[in-house]
Structures are given as structure tokens and as C-alpha cells.
Structure 1
Amino acid sequence: MSRAGKIARRTFLIGSAAIAGGVAFGYYKYKSPVANPLLEDLPQGAAALTPYVLIDETGVTLITPRMDMGQGVWSVQAMLIAEELDIDLDQIRVAPGTPSPAYYNTALSHEAVPFDPTDTSFTAETARGVVDAAMKFMGMQLTGGSTTVPDGYDKLRHAGAVARETLKAAAAARTGIPVGDLKTGRGAVVLPDGTRLDYTTLAPDAAVIAPVTDVALRDPKDWRLIGHRIERIDIRAKSTGTQVYAIDLEPDGVVHAAVRLNPGRSGAPLRYDATAAEAMRGVEKVVPVTGGVAVLADNTWRAFQAADAIRIDWPAPAFPAEMEAHWAILSDGFTEANLSATPREAGNVAAALMQAGDAALSVEYRAPYLAHAPMEPMSATVLVEGGRTEVRAATQVPRFTQANVAKVLGLPDEAVHVHVQMAGGSYGQRLEDDAIRIAAEIADTVPGRPVKLTLKREEDFATDYPRQIAMARGLGTVANGQVTGFDLSIAMPSVMASQMGRQGFGALGADAQITAGAGDQPFAIPDYRVRGYQVDGLAPVSSWRSVGASTNGFFHDCLLDELIHAAGADPLAERIRLTADPEARKVLEVVGEMCGWGARLAPGQGRGLAFCRSFGVPVAEVVEVRATPQGIRIEKVWIAAGVGRVIDPANFENLVAGGAVFGLAHAMNCQITYAGGAAEQTNFDSYEGMRLPQGPEVEVRAVEGMGRVRGIGEPPVPPAAAALANAIFAATGQRIRELPLGNTVDFA
């Protein structure tokens, strides 16, 4: 049968495909067929659909196409499939699969449209549908935006259910026993007499029958995995030091590479002298690459040392060389010409502020650039050989990576094979693929030999695209013990224009991230306005954990806290009073109950409350601090989050607690500042977050059963900085409006 014929037969189907004597199952959301990574070289008569389950004589492999960077999504994706497939996690393998449009992310549209996440109106849902269709057309396979669970919650369970029912149909055809009399369990179809037919033995039969597409999902009361504490599939390897990350790969014949890249992002070196480097032990050669120079050597350390020995003169940076100019550009950026969006406007803010006059609160907040700084620096291993290229790297954008490497090498996309690896952290950095492109350039100079490029920690810092710098100006009014007016203006560079521009995309309209975490909050303040200003001419930036909300959660809640204090109201009671969304109100009530809000505190103690809804998830955090002679000590944190459904309670608690600590650590001490056109912070000694002895006790509670199923990797971050700043005020009376807070106070 022709390829076109196979595609025509797959419209709105859920089905199976013979793969080297095995069978694969998958799920389509839309009626239009999507090209499938399993289509090529299928045996005659096979039907191939989006593959999530591969069964052959060697066992069962679950395809988990969202990248795992420590957040446990390989386990979560496997759980969703295995729940319906009736197989346990100790019986399966997982694989990220190959880059394919079939793995496009169905949940990205919820963050990409300018509508409140709780808005289910016809207009909002239509806009999401249009954007989702575009994502599908583009084959947007991307890990990010806390979308793995929303993306996979339905379709992965459907994939498991279709696989299960098709295997039962195959068993019925083999044995003559009606499907209704068959059961499944632990990777086998179970006959009425207890005989077990392993899925692996049924795979050839299932590959040649029509898939069973009319399936019912299990009742949640019968779930064995979802909602239960499950041992993550990677936990033993990580606990024993045997987990293999991208940086651990060491193929036979590998040549190691290091680079020096332009920290000012302004192009190739004006000149360089590699004489000393070329004479060093183990160095093979020095080659120019895009934006810099690379060294090839017989091990990583020698490559690092040789790269450091190269004398380079760089052109002037593409952005202001000194930090003061960055802040000045932002300060001057609150102009009508830069106005990007006004996502929230209720009442008449201008009239309310005019009436209040000098009594109106007027404040300014600042948040600095931040590095991604994952524990595993960027790396890639690339082999160019005989018109085929193998790429092994940890990337959140495998299809972009495939296309970009193909462009670098002048090859068709299908000649580039990307093998996604486990990552030791990312926080958004692996949405960028510069290092992989450069590794491909280097590998092209030594065809037939694998090249492993590793960025030295200092190089990783120097060439990172940081979290956006941002500034906000707030005005507000209070009356009769209540907050009545709220006006927040935010200026920052466009993360999406910067990031997507490097992927070759043009202007995509107003960047919703400029007001994310501020313009979408659930408060019903009578006179309420949030405006965003896009400011150009700053350092290129990229998505950082929680993106726009990472700064805006601090701005919005600190202004609200200041207004509540000016009104003489209780911070929790007034937030609850103002909250128009039942789920958000419930989250605030739960966090108040958790911490016993209102309890008498000892002298020097203070509690700060903050709330932010980001990625559709309402999160409330209370931070308790104590002022000591050594500085501010963070003692305890309480967090409540509304996520619709918790897939794995243990992983949920770890992600929420970890996200809050991540936010607190950066709020305490971290910043990237520029001097002489380069970042001044180049390693963890100058970019120090939270030390282990400073870690607080953290208590987490999920609020389930309200709203859509959401992801939780990013939402705990935005409230953390505000809660800490508000706690410091409660303990000391000192308002701090600029991050990091450690520039103003010491931390014990």
C-alpha cells in the first residue's frame, strides 16, 4: 500500500502498527492525519498511528516524548499510559522517541492566547483552538510551560486503553473466547481459567487486526497508579549515581571540544591568537565557529585549558555594556509607543488616582536578569558521517534542533537523527539549542568522528540567555479599610520575540509574558488596571522557570500587600475578600488553615503571604522568617496549590517544595549584572542561592477537583519572592522593592 493510502486510512483513528515484528499504539486528537515516525518501512498491511506504546518480543516500551530534566515527567507520562494498559512500571522501558510532528504539544495554546486561563467563553476557546491547530501544523514538539500533564492526561490514557483493548481482541481471536470474558493485568491478557497471555506474545496478532478505537477510560476509583505514591522510574539510578545524562556520553573514538563564544552576542571575534592553545598537550586543532572559536582535544579538561589560552578581541556588545544603562532603558520605557497590552482594566483608575491625589500609594519595583545555571552545563555529542548525522543531547525542542542542525550542515531534516537524553536540570535553558548547532559545526570539520562539546561552567554562565530584567511602577488607593484602586505598569523585553527570533520566527504579536502573572490575577478590585510595556535594546533573554510570572508575581503581590497594609486590613482576609475565583479563594483559605494564620508570633518573627496564578494554577504561599543578629532566617514555608488532579503525590510535593525553594533562593541572592559588555557572575561563587543549612521546613497541600488538570513545575516559583519580601516587612518593618533582597538585608 502507498504512503498516501496508509495516511488516508488513519483519519481520526487510534491504532496499531507492526514494528520489526512488534506492535505500536497511539492516539490522535484531531481528525486530520499527522505524519508518523513509525510510517517508514512498515510491513505490508500495517497501520501506523502516533506511537506511545511499542510491544515486541523483547518487552514493552512506553514512548515519553516530553523531555525529563529532573521534574519526573518520564515517570508521569509512563504512569498515564500504564494505568490504562494494565502494566506496572517495573515491567516497562521508556524512550523519548524520535522528533516528530506527531508529538506536538496540545496544551501550549492555553498560555499562548491573551485570555484568562479560567475563561471558557466561546471566544477564548475558539482562540485556543486556532492556536492549537497552528501548533499541530508546525508540529510544535516542546517541553515547557508546565504542559506535560495537561498535554498527556487524556491522550496518553487513551493510547494505553486502545492498546489494552486491541490486545484483548487479539487474544479473543486466538482463543475463541469472547472479549467480554477476558481481563488484563501486569502486562498480560488473562483468560477465564487464569491462563496469562503476555502482551509480548500477542503483539504479532495485534499488529494485523483492526485496532479497537471505541474504548472507555477506567473509573478513577479503580486507578492503581494515578493518584498514588509511585517509585519514580529514575530514582534508583539517580540515588546510586548510575543515571546517564547527556554530559556522560563517551562514544568510541570521541574527540572533545570546548568553545569561547562572544559574551556580547555581537558576532565573530575581531581577531584571535590561538598559537599558545595549538601548542598545548592533547590539542588537535582550533577552528572558528559561529560567534567564536572552538578547540578539539583528547579530553575535556585539555580542551577547556586550551580554550582559555586563546587571546580574543571581541567587537562591542550588541546591548549596553554597563548595568546602569539597562535600568535607564527600562525606566525610560514606560511610553505610549512601547505599550504592548492592557490585559486588565476595570472601573476608572485614572479618575480614582486623581481623586486620591497625594494620598495614593506610588512605588517602583525592580527584578534583575537571572542565569538558568542548571547543575549540568550545556553539552552535545554529534557524529557527521556519510550524509547522516547523529545528535545526542538534552533538548526541550527536538524538532527545532533537528531542523537547525540540518540547516547548519546543509542536509535534509530526515538525515539528522536526534536522540534526546536525560538532563540534569534546565529551568528553560534547553529551549535554546545554540550549543548543539555549534557542536554540529565542529563535527563537520572531523567527519566520521563523534564530537562531544561541553561548555565550561564559566562559558555556560557567560553565554546563557538570562531571565528577563524587569521594572514595575505601581499606584493604588484604599478607602474604609479596603483596597479600592490598583494600577500596575510593567516594563521588560519580550522573551518570546528574543527566544523565537533565534528559531527564525518573525513577530508573533504582543508577548503575553510581559503581563503574565499580573494581568491574569483573580481579584475584583473596583478600579484595577495592569499594563505591559515592551522595551527593546536590552540583552537577549530566554524563558526562565515561570517566564514572565517570575518577575510579575513579585510586582503584583508586593503592590497588593502594600495597599492592604495601607488600608489597615488583614493580608489574608483582604485577599480572600477580593478574590473572584472560587478555586483561588479555596487555595487562600487552605494555606491560611495550614499555617494557622493569625497565631501570635514571637518578637522578631514575621509571616508574609503571597498569591499568584500562573499557567492556570493558583498558588498561595506563606513564608515565616525570624530576624536574628546574623540576618533574616527563613524558618518555614506553607504552600497550597490548585491543580485539578495530582498524578503522583510524592512528585507533586517535591516539585512544589522545590519550586518554592528555587524562587526563594533566587530572591535572596541571585542576579546577573553586566560590566564591560559581559556578565559579571561566572560561577556559583558569585551566583550563590540558598545554602543547605538555610533551607526551611516546607509543607505542601494540593487543592484538587476544581478546574482543568494543570502542570505544577513552574507555578510555585512566582509567589516565593513576594512572600519572602512581605515576611521581611512583617518582621522588621522594612519594605524591599528590589531583587535580590540580599542587596538590602543579610540572610542567616
Structure 2
Amino acid sequence: MSKIGKIARRTFLIGSAAIVGGVAFGYYAYKKPVANPLLKGLADGETALTAYVKIDADGITLITPRADSGQGAYSVQAIMIAEELDVELDQIKVDPGVPSRAYYNTALAQEAAPFPSTNDSFTANSMRGVMDAMMKFLGMDITGGSTTVPDGFTKLRVAGAVARETLKAAAAQKTGVALTDLRTSKGAVVLPDGTSLPYTELAAIAGTLDPVDEVQLRDPSTWRLMGKTTQRLDIVPKSTGTQDYGIDFTLDGMVHATVRTNPRRGGAMQKFDASDAKAMRGVSQVFEISTGVAVIADNTWRAIQAASAIEIEWDAAPYPAEMEDHWQTLSDSFVADRVDSTMKDEGDVQAALDTGDVIEAEYRAPYLAHAPLEPLSATVLVQDNRADVWTGTQIPSFLRGNVADITGLDKDDVHIHMLMMGGSFGHRLEARVVQEAAEIAVKMKGTPVKLTYSREEDMTHNDTRQIAMARGRGTVKNGQVESFDLGIAMPSVIASQMGRQGISVPGPDTQIVAGAWEQPMRIPNYRVTGYRAPELAPISSWRSVGASSNGFFHDVFLDELIHAAGADPMAERLRLCWHDPSRKVLEKVADMSNWGAPLAANQGRGVAFCMSFGVPTAEVVEVTATEDGIRLDNVWVAADVGTVVDPVNFENMVQGGVVWGLGHAILSEITYSDGMVEQDNYDSFEAMRMYQVPNIEVAGLENADQVRGMGEPMVPPAAAALSNAIFAATGQRIREMPMNKFIDFV
């Protein structure tokens, strides 16, 4: 039986009385109710009590506010609601809803609080509560941080349960049958004689009732959808090419726009000459905007061609023009006055370093582009008293504020229509394409404007992953790791990203040390220090953020210390690990990979572990050193997310994340020359090829107490496990990415 027990009415009552003809249900376990956003703009026959389940005479709509960029977010949210509502997935449709403080992300506080996920103390949980209150106050309606499942795991199921029980109450009122004699099945209330009353027929009555104030969540042993093999809602449209994305959106009378902005990010424009562009076929306007020049044409291709014909003189970049100066800035940041945090400091590291033989190493991780397949686009229509935006985004509430500022309208008069995204990896946490589209639309009031970036504009103006450097010092003693001292230098991702929204975030940036400081290893003398480098090129959240580089730094250095101690890499990690779920993922991946079995002379296996986003993840990579280079043969992954809601999607997410992590580690970097990005398309920013992809086996464990997400945690250990495997096979230690600068791959 669920621990939820009795749900006080105030925890899920939202808004005012229902309107006859339909009903909507939802759940908010908060002391102060938030206005139900479904109450605005209801169609005839629709009603809204709460905010996640809407039923009218025509069908059932589930509100799935966490954005879908291809990771299956709409489906997994629908599964959690439908499990308790007792409907089949082919009986519902999903709607991302509208931006609202009601949909603030309840799981973001876990990552924002300066405590490791393994800390369950009163102080840690109190701080998480404070951070959660801040998220609610700010209306952080955001998708990111692997939070879709943990955000919805309780509240979406309760929303479904409240809806189910209220519909049963409606059936009891209609038929006179006792509530205890009713049950539900496949979108209907079933009477003792077997008669089925569809939810759609009960919606009008349910709309006149207060939601039932006592619900019990179903025991996992009775689940029909959660934890079972299900088909994602978007499988058919994506398999048949009929899925629409933001870039496919059209409106009658729409014009097409593109932009050219300073390739030296943040630099100004001195002047431009658009005479040739204006004379080109289909071009109607060329004008200056705050970031550069906009071109309006009758289709996107003509707009892009015209933009490339404009002669422009740009100012210099506000960051170092050459790549070596970026690295030098990081190198110069390992000083006392640049210390941002020392969130891990156990034992006496300095004493151990002073008395032992010190092992030292330096590691580097480059800038990386998000590079989703769908280039950024947004359609904006500005009218006298409202503005409408159609786009794929992870930050709908922020966009409302951005567009309100640009148009001078009130936030309530800005309407964001969320569209499916063809990839993101954090790219859609930025607002520039919508801001520029709104600026253009203000100049063309009453005309819908669709702004689409060229691939080159998108790639060269991407707010990339952070550049980072780490320096490790450590000692070993009696065949064991004795001390571990890791310093990490990078600019602040949070300051750069939130700064573009005009928000200043006080205190240390935990992303500088994320994926390093919170590792559950009992090393006698253990320190992780974050050094906040000066701002360089603009950076943003890239899949797994700080952990994407820090997982590599931390585990490769640990592997070096273990090798120096003469210990087995798996056995020593297990000895050091004090956290039971983490030990179990290490044990599981050891079993999956048959760790310790003999290998050929030219083969090697590397293991890596990283706790990120609260998820312990262990990976083993097996490689073969051939005459032509390193071949990736096999990868084994074990991770513990507490509960696996959708096993098929879980496996696919993990496999995709491993390919993402390995491909970038081998092949990819963004570099600057003369202040400009040198990689402008996929020919210069390569991805892993199909023939390079190893066999990947996945195990999802469910030992952890708390439910977590899996969008990002498999990325941080991938590069480390590969580096460790290359060392095992060749004796060559790779400490910098991309690795193809130092070794060949086949």
C-alpha cells in the first residue's frame, strides 16, 4: 500500500468550481494552492478542477508539462498518470499544457541544494525544502537535470488516482450504487453487474463534485503500465515520418526569416551593406536587430542565401581570440582567490601529500556543441494586445517573460505553444531564437514570422558545454589509495546561462565540482576543490553539465592511483565504496562484463563509476588495439534509479547516452580562432559512426530509496571507462578529449 495515505483536500484542489460538461483533475502537495491554468480558455463542454487530467465528451487529455526532445518525456508522464487513472495509452491524447507556476519542477531542488544525494540528514532535507520553495516562488517550469520522472513520480500518479476516485463518486451519484461496490477498468467505471460507464459520460457529473480527498496509490505488484514493456506514443509518427516538429510549423500568411549575428560571440556590429541581399529573389526586407541583421523572405532557403550575401563588419569578441588563451586562463585559475568551493575535504590531504610519493596528472575537456538534428526555429505573431510563440523549448515560463519584455505586453498576454523538439541535449534551455523572432515580429506586427537558423548560424553561435581543466595529486600506501586531491577549473555554467536571463545566482556554482565531489568513496584523505575561472566564451547546460567533464577527471585519476597501488581497478573501487546501491551497480557491472576473465594480449577493459544526479552508474568498456587503431567492442552499464518506469525507454536512453558520451570523447571539440568557432557543421564537428558503435548491454537496478531520472547519468562515466580501457590495452594514458588527437580509432 502506498505511503501517500490520506490526501488532504487542500493539497490537490486548485482553482474554482467546475463548469458542467467535463472535468479536469490534478495534484499539488503544496500548502498554498496555485491557480489552475486549465481554467483559462476552456472550450465548450470542458471543465477544470485541477491541472493534469482533462475529460470531456470526446475523450481524455493528459497534461504532460515536461518537454519532449526525443527522450520520451510525454510518454513516460502519460504512463504515470494512466497507471492510476486506469486508462490505456490508446485511449488518451497528451498536451504539454501552458507555461504556469503550477507546473514548476519539484525535483530541481535535489540538484540545486549543496548536499550530495546520499546525505539524508535533517539539515540536507531542510535545505532541499528551502530550494524547492524557491523553485515554486520563481515558477521554475523547466525540463532538465534528468528530473522528468522524479518530478512526476508521485504527483502525476496522485493526479490519476484523484481523477479515478472522483469519477467513481460520479458513477455512485448517477446510479445509486455504493462507492465500495464500484471498480474501474480501461477508462470506465464498472458496476457490480458488469455495466461499464465510460469516463467521458461521467465527466459532466464529476465536474460538479469536489475531488475525492482520500486516495491510495496502487501497489507496484498491481501495475499494468509502469515497469512493463509499452510502446511510446510517438513511435508510429516517428517511424512513418509524420511527426511534426517546431521546424515544420506553419501559419497562413507567414513570412520566413533568418539572422546573421556576430561570429565573435557578444561583439557588436559596426555596419552592414545588404544591397545584394535585397536584390535577391523572394527577399522582402533586411533590417538591423539588436544582435545583428534579419532577413525576411518568402521561404527559409532564400532568406538564408540572402543573409550570406550581406557584407558586415563585426567588432572583436569580449573573450580571448585564440584557443590557447582559453586554456591558459584555466591554468591560471588554480589559485586561492579563485576557489569557488571545497565541498569535499576529509582527512588530512596535505599531510598525506607531504609524507608520501605524490602522483600528479592534468586533464582537459573541451568546449562541445549541443548540435541537435533540428536547427533552432521559432514562430512569433505579435498583435496589439497579445503575442503568440510556437517553438520547442525547455523553459516556457522564461520565454513568456522574454517576449513580454521585448513587446511591452503583460506576461499574461504572451502565449507559448510548446512543440515537439528534434533533439536538445540542453540547447533548448536557451532563449535567443525566440527573443530574435519576437524582435523581428514587433517590426512586422500582425504578420506571423518564422525564424529559422541555418545550420552554420546554429553551430557557431551555440552556447556550448564548459571548457574545463583538472589537476590531481594523490598518494598510495600498502596497495591502497591513501589520498586523493582533485582541483577543477572552469567558468561558471550557471552564471553564464542564467546571466542571459538577467538572473544573478549567489553562492558557489556546484556544477564546477558536480560529478566529482559527491562520489561515495571512503578515501582516507579526500579533497575536491572547485576553481571558478573568469568568464570566457558563452556556455550553457550540456547533457550532464559539470559531471560531463568531471566524471572523466575524477575516475581516470582514481584509476591512475589504483594502478600505482597495484590493486585491481574493480576490487579497489568496491573496497572504497561505502554506499550500498553504488556497490551493487559496481558488482552488477562486474558480473555482466565477467570482470577478471582472461583477455587477449591486445584487448583491455576499463571500469568507471560516477554518481551524478543522484544516480550511481558504473560502466565497463572493452576495446581491442588493432593495427589501424582502437576498436570499441563492448560496453556494459548498470545504474540504479530506484524505479524503472519504462524499461524499454530506459534501455534506449542508456544506450543513446553511452554513444553520446563515447562519441564526443573520441571525436568532438569546439575551438576558437580569431574569436570565431571553427566548427560550423557536422563535417567538422563529427559524431560517432554506426560502424564504431559497440555492443551495449544495460541493467537497471531498483535498490535506491528515491526515484531518479536517467537522461544524463550514463554520460559522465563513458569517457573515463574508455580511457581506462585504452590504458589497459596499450599502456597509454589518455587525459584529454577528444582522444583522437592522441590515438587512432577504427
SS in 2 for 1:38: helix
- Asked if residue 143 in structure 1 is aligned to residue 143 in structure 2, the reply is yes
1:333-732 equivalence runs, <5 A: 333-356=333-356, 359-732=357-730
Contact kept? 1:349, 1:528, Cα under 8 Å: yes
Aligned counterpart, 1:99: 99
SS in 2 for 1:211: coil
Deviations 1:316-372 (A, max 9, x none): 10111100100000000011111010111111111110111xx21011000000000
Contact kept? 2:23, 2:49, Cα under 8 Å: no
Counterpart CA distance in 2 for 1:438 and 1:93 is: 32
Aligned counterpart, 1:161: 161
Counterpart CA distance in 2 for 1:78 and 1:145 is: 20
Counterpart CA distance in 2 for 1:455 and 1:40 is: 33
- Asked if residue 115 in structure 1 is aligned to residue 108 in structure 2, the reply is no
Contact kept? 1:497, 1:508, Cα under 8 Å: no
The alpha-carbon deviation at position 268 of structure 1 amounts to: 3.4
Aligned counterpart, 1:269: 269
The alpha-carbon deviation at position 20 of structure 1 amounts to: 7.5
Contact kept? 1:23, 1:54, Cα under 8 Å: yes
Cα pair distance change 1:20/1:475, threshold 3 Å? farther
The alpha-carbon deviation at position 249 of structure 1 amounts to: 0.8
The alpha-carbon deviation at position 196 of structure 1 amounts to: 1.0
Contact kept? 1:13, 1:49, Cα under 8 Å: no
Contact kept? 2:660, 2:715, Cα under 8 Å: yes
Counterpart CA distance in 2 for 1:229 and 1:259 is: 45
> In percent, how many aligned pairs have the same letter?
62
Cα pair distance change 1:282/1:19, threshold 3 Å? farther
Contact kept? 2:551, 2:716, Cα under 8 Å: yes
- Asked if residue 317 in structure 1 is aligned to residue 317 in structure 2, the reply is yes
SS in 2 for 1:644: coil
The alpha-carbon deviation at position 706 of structure 1 amounts to: 2.0
Contact kept? 1:10, 1:47, Cα under 8 Å: no
Contact kept? 2:85, 2:163, Cα under 8 Å: yes
Cα pair distance change 1:434/1:41, threshold 3 Å? closer
1:199-210 equivalence runs, <5 A: 199-210=199-210
Instruction: Compute the TM-score of the two structures, normalised by the length of structure 2.
Output: 0.97
Counterpart CA distance in 2 for 1:19 and 1:604 is: 72
Cα pair distance change 1:43/1:447, threshold 3 Å? closer
SS in 1 for 2:521: coil
Counterpart CA distance in 2 for 1:31 and 1:611 is: 39
Deviations 1:46-90 (A, max 9, x none): 995541000011100000000000110100000000000000000
Contact kept? 1:88, 1:187, Cα under 8 Å: yes
Aligned counterpart, 2:5: none
SS in 2 for 1:485: strand
Counterpart CA distance in 2 for 1:631 and 1:20 is: 70
The alpha-carbon deviation at position 290 of structure 1 amounts to: 2.0
Cα pair distance change 1:606/1:355, threshold 3 Å? same
1:5-20 equivalence runs, <5 A: 11-14=10-13, 18=18
Counterpart CA distance in 2 for 1:19 and 1:368 is: 56
Contact kept? 2:494, 2:505, Cα under 8 Å: no
The alpha-carbon deviation at position 261 of structure 1 amounts to: 1.2
Amino acid at match of 2:274: A
Moved more, 686-695 or 444-453: 444-453
Counterpart CA distance in 2 for 1:47 and 1:57 is: 11
SS in 2 for 1:18: coil
Amino acid at match of 2:440: I
SS in 2 for 1:444: helix
Aligned counterpart, 2:34: 34
Aligned counterpart, 2:239: 239
Counterpart CA distance in 1 for 2:415 and 2:42 is: 19
Aligned counterpart, 2:126: 126
Counterpart CA distance in 1 for 2:227 and 2:73 is: 15
Counterpart CA distance in 1 for 2:402 and 2:41 is: 26
- Asked if residue 255 in structure 1 is aligned to residue 255 in structure 2, the reply is yes
Deviations 1:95-132 (A, max 9, x none): 00000000000000000011010111000000000010
Counterpart CA distance in 1 for 2:522 and 2:249 is: 53
Counterpart CA distance in 2 for 1:333 and 1:19 is: 61
Aligned counterpart, 2:299: 299
Contact kept? 1:14, 1:213, Cα under 8 Å: no
Aligned counterpart, 2:194: 194
Cα pair distance change 1:19/1:657, threshold 3 Å? farther
Amino acid at match of 2:555: D
Unaligned runs of 5+ in 2: 1-7
- Asked if residue 180 in structure 1 is aligned to residue 166 in structure 2, the reply is no
Counterpart CA distance in 2 for 1:267 and 1:58 is: 54
Aligned counterpart, 2:331: 331
The alpha-carbon deviation at position 13 of structure 1 amounts to: 3.3
Counterpart CA distance in 1 for 2:733 and 2:223 is: 49
Deviations 1:643-690 (A, max 9, x none): 100000000000011101100000001000000111100000001120
Deviations 1:377-425 (A, max 9, x none): 1110111123211100000000000110111111000111000111011
Amino acid at match of 1:266: G
Contact kept? 2:265, 2:676, Cα under 8 Å: no
The alpha-carbon deviation at position 509 of structure 1 amounts to: 1.4
Contact kept? 1:18, 1:43, Cα under 8 Å: no
Aligned counterpart, 2:3: none
Amino acid at match of 1:246: G
Aligned counterpart, 1:87: 87
Counterpart CA distance in 2 for 1:447 and 1:182 is: 56
Contact kept? 2:100, 2:139, Cα under 8 Å: yes
Contact kept? 2:147, 2:708, Cα under 8 Å: yes
Deviations 1:462-512 (A, max 9, x none): 111000000000001001111111000000000001101111111321101
Contact kept? 2:382, 2:388, Cα under 8 Å: yes
Instruction: Compute the TM-score of the two structures, normalised by the length of structure 1.
Output: 0.97
Amino acid at match of 2:349: V
Deviations 1:594-631 (A, max 9, x none): 00001111121111100000000000000001111221
Amino acid at match of 2:229: R
Contact kept? 1:656, 1:713, Cα under 8 Å: yes
Deviations 1:229-284 (A, max 9, x none): 10000011000000000001122111111111122222431111111101100001
Counterpart CA distance in 1 for 2:563 and 2:549 is: 22
Contact kept? 1:15, 1:162, Cα under 8 Å: no
The alpha-carbon deviation at position 15 of structure 1 amounts to: 6.5
Contact kept? 2:234, 2:243, Cα under 8 Å: yes
Aligned counterpart, 1:59: 59
Report the aligned-residue RMSD: 1.5
Counterpart CA distance in 1 for 2:264 and 2:533 is: 19
Moved more, 247-256 or 663-672: 247-256
Contact kept? 1:362, 1:473, Cα under 8 Å: yes
SS in 1 for 2:97: coil
Unaligned runs of 5+ in 1: 1-8
Contact kept? 1:14, 1:162, Cα under 8 Å: no
Counterpart CA distance in 1 for 2:394 and 2:287 is: 28
Deviations 1:703-744 (A, max 9, x none): 113220000000000000001111111111101111110111
Contact kept? 2:406, 2:439, Cα under 8 Å: yes
